[in-house]
């Protein structure tokens, strides 16, 4: 069973965990994304993927969020990633919210090509602890 099929099958269990956290103005289903953005949290906080997988973040909350890699907390050979397409963490921060704002009901996706641990955060909610990790295996 591939990852998307598993996620679709496991959707009912995920819906229980997201009860009461509806997408204000959006229409995301629990199977439309791998990592949810709700209030001041990524759900799940840590997500496992394989090299070549595309991870989808979905904003099912009521506020704008970002997916912004910590430039010094991704594998050395990996390309930088951030919603909005910034080439660096500094650029992502200086361009937000004009670029990189994932609005309620929207998604952001990124394909991981290098194994390792990728730490990221939400620009406006970092101080509230909105941080996550994607662990990519071969």
Domains of the chain: 3-137 (2.60.40.420)
pLDDT confidence of residue 32: 86
CA gap 29, 23 in Å, rounded? 9
The pLDDT of 107-111, averaged and rounded, is 98
Residue with tokens 């997408």: 23
Burial of residue 89, with CB atoms counted within 10 A of its CB: 0-12 exposed, 13-18 middle, 19 or more buried: buried
Residue 49: CB partners within 8 Å, gap ≥ 6?
3, 34, 55, 112, 134, 135, 136, 137
CA gap 94, 86 in Å, rounded? 10
Give residue-wise pLDDT tens across range 40-57. Answer: 999 999 999 999 999 999
Give residue-wise pLDDT tens across range 57-103. Answer: 999 989 999 999 999 999 999 999 999 999 999 999 999 999 999 99
Measured distance between the N- and C-terminal CA atoms of the chain, rounded to whole angstroms: 18
């Amino acid at each position: 069973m591939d990852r998307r099929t598993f996620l679709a099958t496991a959707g009912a269990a995920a819906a229980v965990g997201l009860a009461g956290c509806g997408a204000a103005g959006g229409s995301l289903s629990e199977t439309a994304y791998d990592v949810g953005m709700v209030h001041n949290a990524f759900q799940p906080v840590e997500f496992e993927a394989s090299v070549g997988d595309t991870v989808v973040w979905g904003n099912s909350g009521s506020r704008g969020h970002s997916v912004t890699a910590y430039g010094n907390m991704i594998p050395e050979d990996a390309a930088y990633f951030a919603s909005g397409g910034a080439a660096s963490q500094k650029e992502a921060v200086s361009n937000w919210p004009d670029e990189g704002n994932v609005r309620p009901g929207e998604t952001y996706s990124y394909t991981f090509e290098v194994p390792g641990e990728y730490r990221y955060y939400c620009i406006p909610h970092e101080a509230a602890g909105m941080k996550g990790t994607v662990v990519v295996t071969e």
